Amino acid sequence: MEKKLISIDISSLFAFFKKPDNNEGIIFTYNFIHKPALLGIFGSIIGLKGFYQIYEETKKTKDIKKEKKTELSKRIKLPEYYNYLSSLKIGVEPLDSKDGYFQKTIIKYNNSTGHASEEQGGNLIIEEQTIIKPSYRIFVLLELDNEKENDLYINLKNLESTYIPYAGKNDFSLWWENFIEYNFSPYIPDVDFRIDSIFIKEDVNKTIKDFSHKKTANFFDSSHNFGNFIYFEKLPIGYDQNMPYYCFADFVYTNKTIKKDYQLNNLYKLNKDKIIQLF
């Protein structure tokens, strides 16, 4: 089975990766691009169907509001791109950020067609937090014996896409460059080390007051002087297989040194000097 670990650099003028836990007032975005969004981008690159196609198929059937709950649950589907690509292992390294943070702004949208909102007299006003000029290095572990993953490898390498990929919404088209193939191997730390990508860390405390807690103290190596930031974010890593809701994990991005004996999974060393986590 032939495997390739590659990376591409993706960027956009703006991006919006909607957080699902707030639908009133300002709608917020995740700071880092997450795995479901990336899988959607990869699906568009090789021409796989998405959520819109599921919506179109649903419209052709009877009104789902009149169906029984058990009948509805049987009809819940995940998009074609997710079914084909959800097993991909990916990594994310923020580029050109300020200690992991990307600048954001609030964009206000006004829909005054008269069909938007009965509560507001047909005038719908939406405010969205939007990332300005995000860029990320995306790592992907591909099995070239898999037809879809081989198609993705070829399209990424040749800078070709079936559909226009976008950064969270179709207003924000994106592109990629700097295709790289790596020599890689699983990494088991034998010295203190740094991770270049974001990584999953389930038991790191998130509040500033907890930075002195034993768990955090055991995580970072305080004997090294370099490293000055830690960025935490809870991000989607996939969809629930029974309902189309996100599954989440706690992520960390830092330039601090990590103790060699601290357990982290799915680490890889690339070209003998770069260490990332794939998830």
Look up residue 257 and give its amino acid: T
How would you list the strands of the sheet with 230-239, edge to edge? 199-200, 246-254, 230-239
3-state secondary structure (DSSP) of residue 69: helix
DSSP, res 170 = T
Four-residue CA torsion sign, 210, 212, 213, 217 = positive
What lies within 8 Å, CB to CB, of 119 at 6+ separation is none
Return the pLDDT at 59. 61
What's the CATH code, domain 3-277?
3.30.70.2660
Q: What is the pLDDT of residues 4-19, one digit of tens each?
A: 999 999 999 999 999 9
Cα 27 to Cα 231: distance, rounded to the nearest angstrom: 21
- Tell me which residues of the chain have a pLDDT lower than 50: 68-74, 206-214, 217
State the pLDDT at residue 224.
60
pLDDT in tens, 118-176: 555 567 788 999 999 999 999 999 999 999 999 999 999 999 999 999 999 999 999 99
> What is the model's pLDDT at position 263?
85
d(CA 57, CA 80): 13
Could you tell me where the beta strands, DSSP code E, fall in the chain?
A: 3-11, 14-15, 26-27, 89-94, 104-111, 124-132, 135-143, 175-182, 184-186, 199-200, 230-239, 246-254, 267-270, 274-277
